[in-house]
Chain A
Amino acid sequence: MALATLKRLINSSTAVAVLFMLLLASLYLLSGSTHDSILFGRLYSVLLVINLAAIFLLLVLIGNNLYQLVRQYRARVTGSRLTARLVVLFIILSVTPVSVVYYFSLEFLKRGIDSWFDVRVEDALKDALELSQASLGIRMHELLRETEQVAAQLHAVPDELMALTLNDQRSKSGMAELTVFSASGRIIAASSKETAGLVPQRLSDSTYLRIHQGQPDVGLIPISDKELSIRIAVALQPHHPVNEKRILQALYDIPERINVLADSVQSAFGDYNELAYLRIPLKYSFILTLSLVLLLSILTAIWAAFFYARRMVAPITDLVEGTQAVAAGNYDKRLPLPGGDELGLLVLSFNQMTQKIAMANDAAKQSQQLMEQQNAYLEVVLAHLSSGVLTFDNKHRLHSSNTAAGHILNLGLQGFQGQTLQAVSLAVPQLQPLSDVISKHLQAHTQEWRDEVTLFGPGGRQVLMCRGTPLPHTITLQGGHVVVFDDITNLLQAQRNAAWGEVARRLAHEIKNPLTPIQLSAERLRRKYLDAMDADDAEVLDRSTHTIVQQVETLKEMVKAFSDYARMPALQLQPVDLNTIVAEVSELYHDDETGVRITIQRDSGMPLIEADPGRLRQLLHNLIKNGIEAMPDERTAHLTLTTHCVKDDKCRYIELRIEDNGPGIPEQLFEQLFEPYVTTKPKGSGLGLAIVKKIVEEHGGIIRAENLPRGGASVILRLPVTALSPDTETNPNPDSELENNSNAAA
C-alpha cells in the first residue's frame, strides 16, 4: 500500500520536478559553501551527504529501471524496443554535451585556481612581512635601551616607593604598562595607562628563561585581533647582593598608523598563505562540486529518459496491443486517452474506429443472421415442397436443389452441385430428355415456360411437368434460373384409368343390351326352323345358331369382365396374414392336371397387414394365372412365390415376389405392362395385370415387374404394414412413406 503510494509519487511528474528543484537548490548551496560563506559553510558537509544520498537514490532507481527494461526487452514485451531506443537516444543527447562542458569546465577550473597564485606576489608579501618585522625590530631596539635606562633608575628604589616611581617613569616615557615582578613571578608593583584595574600581563616561561640567561626578552605581541604591542622584559640589578633578582616588564603601544600597516601586511600575508595552502583542497572541492553537479544532472537526465520514454511509449504500446486485439477480432477494445496531443488524437481516432468497426460488425452479424434465418425458412419450405426445385446460375450450372427433386429424379443431387446439365446427363443418361428441355430454355432465355418431359429410368416411365423462370439478378446468382417440376405420371395414369373405366361401363351397357335379344332370336330361329328343314340345312342352322349363342355367351363374359374392371366393390379391410392367403391360393393349383409346380418361400416373421382378403386372393389368382399363361407349355411351368418382410429404418412393408421360368416380358411391353388390354397372350383379356395393379394401389402398395437375369419374369409388389399388427410400430402415414419407397424402387 505504502509502496504503491511511494511508486505513484515517484512516477508523478510533479514529484520529479520538485525533487529536481530541491537537488538544484542543494547544489547551489554546495557551490556557495565552497566560497566560504558562513551560513553555507556550516551546511557544507550536510549538503554533501544529501547530494551523495540523492546520487545513490538515483542510481538505485536507474538500476531498477534498467533491470526491468532488460527483462522486458528479453521477454519481447510490446513497446520495450521503442523504450530502449528512446532511452539510449535521450541519454546520448543529454550526456554528450554535459560531458563536453564538464571537461572544459574542469580545465578552466584548474587553470583559474592556479592563476590566483604568483611567485612574485608571494615573494613581495614575504618581503613586506620581513620589512615590517625589521622596522618593528628597530623600534624594539630603541625601546629596549629606553627600558634599560628606566631599569637603571629603578634598581635603587625601595619596594614601598616602587609603585609611585613606576607611575612616574611610565608617564614620562609614554609606556602602556610597567610592571616589576619578583623572581618567582609575583607582581611587586605595576603601573598601567588604563585606569580600570586590569591585571597586568604575566611573564611567560620563555621570558624567565631568557632573563635567567642574562638576556633581555624583547617581543612583539598581538594584544587583540588587530592590535600589536611591544613587550620588553629586563632584569633589575638588586640593590643589595642579598636581595633577590627582579624583573621589569614594559609594554609599549605601537602608533596607530604603524598598527594599521602591520595589520594590513599580516592579514594579506595570512590570507595569501591560507589560500596557497588551500589551493589543492579548493581544487578538489570545486571538482567535487562540479562532479556532483554533473553526476546528478546526468543521472537525473537518465532517469528522466526512462520516465519520459515510458510515458511516451505507453500510448504507442496501447495502440499496438489495441491493433493486435482488433486484428484478432476483439472490437470492444478501448484505449485510455494519454492527453490532448497528437498521440491523444490518434488514440481517440483508434477508439472511434474500433467502435465503428464493432457497430458495423454487429450489423453484419445481424444481417447475416437474418439471411441465415431466411435461408433456413426457404430451405424448410423447399424441403417440404412436393415439387422438385432446381436452380441454375448464369453459367447454367446446378446451384441448388430441394429434397423432392432428388426423390422425383431418384438421384442424390448434392453430388452434382456446380456441374452443368450436360455433365449431369452424361453421368445419368436417363436424365437426357430433362436436360435437353431445360438447356433449350436456358439458352433461349425464355421468360416463363412450361413443358412436359418423359423420362425412362429403371423404375419405368416418368412424366414430369416442368415450369421455369429466370431469377432476378442477385450478388450470389447474377441471374440464374429456377425450374420447378412435378411427377405427373400417376396423375396421367389415374386420368387414363378413369377414362378407361367410363368407356368400359358405357361399352358394357351398350353391348350387353342387344346381346340377350340376339341370343333369344338365335334360339327361336333354331327351335322353329330346325325340325322343318332338311338335314343339310338343319345342320347349317344348328351350327350357326350354336355359334351365335356361344359367341353371345362369350361376349357376355367379356362385357362382365369389362364392367368388373370398371366397377369394383368397396374394400373390406381386415387384418390378414399374407402367408396364409398365399398358402390357400397356391393349394388350389397343386392338384391341377396341368402339372404346374409352385414353390413357396415364406418369411416366418411376417406381420399382419390390413387388407381385403378376397381381393388379395383375386390378385394372387391373377398373378399365378398370368404366370402360367405366359408359358409356352403349361406343363413345364414353375412358379416361385416369396414373401419377405422388409424393414427399413423408417417404415416397414411386406414384399411378395412371383417369379416364373417363362420367356420374360418383351422390352416394348414394359411401359404399359399394367395397363388394360395390353397382352401378348392369345387367350388373355388383357385385364389381368391391370386388375392386379388396381388392387395393389387400392391397398396403398406399389407393383413393378422385371426380367430375371437367368430368364423368366418377376413381379414384385409391396404392401404397407399397418398399425394393427401388435409387433409393428405405428406408421401414421404409410402411403407417403411408401411413395418414397416406390420411387426408390422405381
Chain B
Amino acid sequence: MRQAARSTGIGLLFAALLLPQSGFGAEFIVRSVATELKDDVYQLNARIDYTFSEEAQRALQSGIPLIILMDIQVDKQRSWWWNKEVAHLQQGYLLIYHALTKKYIINNLNSGAQQNHKSFTAALQTLGQITGLPLIDKGLIEADARYQIHLRVYLDIESLPAPMRPLAWLSSDWRLSSDWYTWPLQP
C-alpha cells in the first residue's frame, strides 16, 4: 500500500517540479556514514543534519505528528548485471510536540523507544545521531564480493493528515528529503 502511495507520490513530485520553489534551505543532509563489525553484526553509525522548513515546524508545534523515514539498502555489486539487493531496512521516527509538558518527543517506530527533548534543536540533534544500528549479519556477506550501502532520509508526506497531502506534494516546504548517500561496506 505504501509502495503504491509512493509511486503516486512520485507522479505528483514530477508535477511539483514544474512549480516555483520556496522554503529554500530546508533540507536533510547525510553528513557521514560508517559501519563497524561488532559481534558478527555490521552496525551503522551516521550523522544527519535535519533542517525543517518553518511551515513544518509550525505544523509540528500545532500538534501535527511528523514521520521521518530512513531507507537503507545493501547492494551486492555485480559487474555483469544490475546490483543485487541483499538487505533493505526502513527506520521510522515519529516526531510529536507535547503541549502540556512542552516537550518534543521522538518515538522510534521500530523499537518503540521514546525520547523527550525540551527544545526542537535538541530533538533534531538526537535524531541526527544514529549509533550502533544493526544493519546486516556477517554471515550474509560474501568475503570476496563488494557491497554498497545506500541511505537516505525523508519526511513521509503520506503519513500527514489527508487534507494536507495535496498541498504537501506540491510544496517544497514539505518535500524534505536527502539525496541517496552511498558508501562501500567495509568489513
Binding site for B on A (CB under 8 A): 33-34, 36, 40-42, 44-46, 48-49, 129, 132-133, 204-206, 219-224, 228, 262, 265-266, 269-271, 273-274, 276-278, 281-282, 284-286, 288
Contacts and interface: CB of A to CB of B under 8 A. Distances in A.
B56 to A, nearest CB: 11
B122 A281 contact: no
Contacts of A273: 62-63, 99
Contacts of B9: 45
A288 B103 contact: no
A13 B114 CA distance: 58
16 contacts: A40-B162, A46-B8, A49-B11, A204-B116, A219-B103, A221-B103, A221-B116, A222-B105, A265-B100, A266-B98, A266-B100, A269-B100, A270-B63, A271-B63, A276-B62, A284-B163
A282 B162 CA distance: 9
Max chain B Cβ within 10 angstroms of own Cβ: one of A265, A270, A271, A288: A270
B100 A288 contact: no
Given A46-B8, A204-B117, A277-B62, A262 B161 contact: no
A205 B122 contact: yes
A269 B101 CA distance: 12
B64 interface: yes
Contacts of A41: 161-162
Nearest to A283: B163
Contact of A281 (B12, B116, B167): B167
A278 B163 contact: yes
A266 B97 CA distance: 11
Contact of A222 (B1, B116, B162): B116
B101 A46 contact: no
| For the complex of A and B, 9 pairs with smallest distance between CB atoms | A277-B62, A285-B163, A266-B100, A270-B63, A274-B63, A44-B162, A281-B163, A282-B163, A220-B101
Interface string B112-126: 001011110010000
B96 to A, nearest CB: 9
B143 interface: no
Contacts of B2: 42
Contacts of A281: 161, 163-164, 167
A274 to B, nearest CB: 4
A283 B101 CA distance: 31
B145 interface: no
Nearest to A130: B100
B165 interface: yes
Given A46-B5, A46-B8, A129 B101 contact: no
A49 B11 CA distance: 9
A277 B59 contact: yes
Interface in B1-29: 1-2, 4-5, 8-9, 11-12
A535 B100 CA distance: 209
A262 B100 contact: yes
Nearest to B60: A277
Contacts of B98: 222, 266
A277 B101 contact: no
Interface in B141-159: 158
A48 B100 CA distance: 36
Contact of B158 (A42, A129, A269, A282): A42
Given A45-B9, A45-B12, A221-B116, A36 B161 contact: yes
Contacts of B1: 42
Contact of A206 (B4, B101, B122): B122
Interface string B56-79: 001100111000000000000000
Nearest to A53: B11
A277 B58 contact: yes
B114 to A, nearest CB: 7
Contacts of B59: 277
B70 to A, nearest CB: 20
B100 A132 contact: yes
A45 B3 CA distance: 12
Given A45-B169, A46-B5, A204-B117, A278 B100 contact: no
B184 interface: no
B134 interface: no
B166 interface: yes
Contacts of B116: 204, 221-222
A249 to B, nearest CB: 14
A127 to B, nearest CB: 13
A48 B5 contact: no
A265 B9 CA distance: 36
B32 to A, nearest CB: 21
Contacts of B162: 33-34, 36, 40-41, 44, 285
Nearest to A217: B118
Contacts of B166: 45, 48, 284-285, 288
Nearest to B97: A270
A220 B8 contact: no
Contacts of A44: 162, 165
Max chain A Cβ within 10 angstroms of own Cβ: one of B59, B114, B162: B162
A269 B99 contact: yes
Given A44-B162, A224-B114, A266 B167 contact: no
Nearest to A40: B162
Given A45-B169, A284-B163, 12 more contacts: A42-B5, A45-B8, A45-B165, A45-B166, A49-B11, A206-B117, A219-B101, A222-B116, A224-B114, A265-B100, A270-B63, A277-B64
Contact of B163 (A34, A46, A129): A34
Contacts of A266: 98-100
Nearest to B5: A45
Max chain B Cβ within 10 angstroms of own Cβ: one of A45, A271, A274: A45
A228 B103 CA distance: 12
A248 to B, nearest CB: 19
Contacts of A276: 62
Contacts of A204: 116-118, 122
Contacts of B62: 273-274, 276-277
B13 to A, nearest CB: 11
B37 to A, nearest CB: 25
Given A45-B158, A277-B62, A284-B167, A222 B101 contact: yes
A220 B5 CA distance: 38
Contacts of A270: 63, 99
Given A45-B9, A273-B62, A274-B64, A219 B100 contact: no
